Amino acid sequence: AGVVKAEDYTLPAYVDRRDVPLPEVAFVRELSAQQKALKEKEKAAWSALSTQEKVELYRIKFNETYAEMNKGTNEWKTILGGVLFFLGLTGVILIWQKHFMYGAIPHTFSEEWLSAQTKRMLDMRVNPVEGVSAQWDFDKNEWKK
Amino acid sequence: MRRLLARRMKFHLLGAFLVSLGCATLYKFGIAEPRKRAYAEFYKNYDPMKDFQAMEAAGVLECAPPK
């Protein structure tokens, strides 16, 4: 009396992990009568065990084989589908916003303003090496091909 | 099952080395070299006075207005 019962999660646990080849406890905790008999037989010579009995002993000790543990799933399809769906939903929301919510854009985006702006940038020789002035042919007064 | 960490580490160490070398090479030959060539080409026959006169004529220089 006065001793707290050990909770399940405080005891050593079984875990299926690639880097833990021998977990702390066997997988099956309460053995049936048949399994107990098999465990007794295991104490004798192992060559007396049939293949099926050996597999049964393995399954008592382990949950999944390494092959089963490392097997891939189809989860990526769900994930990809979810991601694309929410991207599409976001796109719909953005289109709705542009159409119904936002006001007009500033007048500095009109065609006349943009061409006057570009002309001024070219006059000033903005980025003449790799940028906009490098794409303009100043002799022929047109964009370089 | 054997040498799990060693195998993984060897693979990833080699991979990391190759990937970083590859990135550096790609950058050098995709971006750095063309940029150096662009600058060399630009300044080969560059006449600053002609450029200045063109800018002055266009009227973008506040302290050098066109006549």
The answer as to whether B48 is a domain residue is yes
* A7 lies in the same domain as A52: yes
* A42 lies in the same domain as A14: yes
Compute the average pLDDT of residues A6-19: 86
CATH code at position B51: 4.10.93.10
The answer as to whether B42 is a domain residue is yes
Q: What distance in Å separates the CA atoms of residue B56 and residue B46, rounded to the nearest whole number?
A: 17
Classified as helix, coil or strand, A16 is coil
Cβ(A49)–Cβ(A42) below 8 Å: yes
* A49 lies in the same domain as A26: yes
Contact B42 A21 (CB under 8 A): no
Confidence of residue A101 (pLDDT cuts 50, 70, 90): very high
Helix pair A51-61, A33-42: axis angle to 10 deg: 110
List Cα–Cα distances, A96 to A75, A86, A99, B13, B28, in angstroms. Answer: 32, 15, 5, 49, 44
Q: What distance in Å separates the CA atoms of residue A125 and residue A132, rounded to the nearest whole number?
A: 8
Residue B10: domain span:
4-58
* A1 lies in the same domain as A64: yes
pLDDT over 80 at B2, yes or no: no
Which phi-psi region, left, alpha or beta, contains residue B59 (left: φ > 0; alpha: ψ -120 to 50)?
left
pLDDT at A128: 94
Reported ipTM: 0.78
Residue A9: domain span:
1-71
Compute the average pLDDT of residues A8-13: 87
For chain B, the domain total comes to 1
* A66 lies in the same domain as A2: yes
pLDDT over 80 at A2, yes or no: no
SS3 content of chain B, % helix, strand, coil (to 5): 80, 0, 20
pTM of the model: 0.65
The answer as to whether B65 is a domain residue is no
pLDDT over 70 at A1, yes or no: no
pLDDT at B4: 79
* A25 lies in the same domain as A86: no
* A4 lies in the same domain as A63: yes
List of chain A residues whose C-beta atoms are within 8 Å of the C-beta of residue B59: 123
Burial class from Cβ neighbours inside 10 Å (0-12, 13-18, 19+) for residue A41 reads middle
Query: What does the block give as tokens for A48?
Result: 């007396």
HSE at residue B30, side-chain half, CA atoms within 13 A, is 6
Q: Which residue of B has its CA nearest to A18?
A: B1
Query: What does the block give as tokens for B67?
Result: 């006549």
Who has greater pLDDT, A98 or A45? A98
pLDDT over 80 at B30, yes or no: yes
Beta bridge partners of A20: A17
Contact A123 B55 (CB under 8 A): yes
Nearest to A39 by CA among A48, A31, A51: A31
* A1 lies in the same domain as A66: yes
Which phi-psi region, left, alpha or beta, contains residue A20 (left: φ > 0; alpha: ψ -120 to 50)?
beta
State chain B's mean pLDDT as an integer: 93
List of chain B residues whose C-beta atoms are within 8 Å of the C-beta of residue A20: none
Span B4-20, pLDDT tens digits: 789 989 999 999 999 99
- Give the closest-approach CA distance of B60 to chain A in angstroms: 6
Contact A123 B60 (CB under 8 A): yes
Q: What distance in Å separates the CA atoms of residue B53 and residue A138, rounded to the nearest whole number?
A: 13
The answer as to whether B53 is a domain residue is yes
* A61 lies in the same domain as A90: no
* A53 lies in the same domain as A31: yes
For chain A, the domain total comes to 3
Confidence of residue A103 (pLDDT cuts 50, 70, 90): very high
Compute the average pLDDT of residues A97-119: 96
Query: What does the block give as tokens for A35?
Result: 């399994």
* A78 lies in the same domain as A65: no
Span A32-89, pLDDT tens digits: 988 999 999 989 888 888 999 999 999 999 988 888 888 888 999 999 999 999 999 9
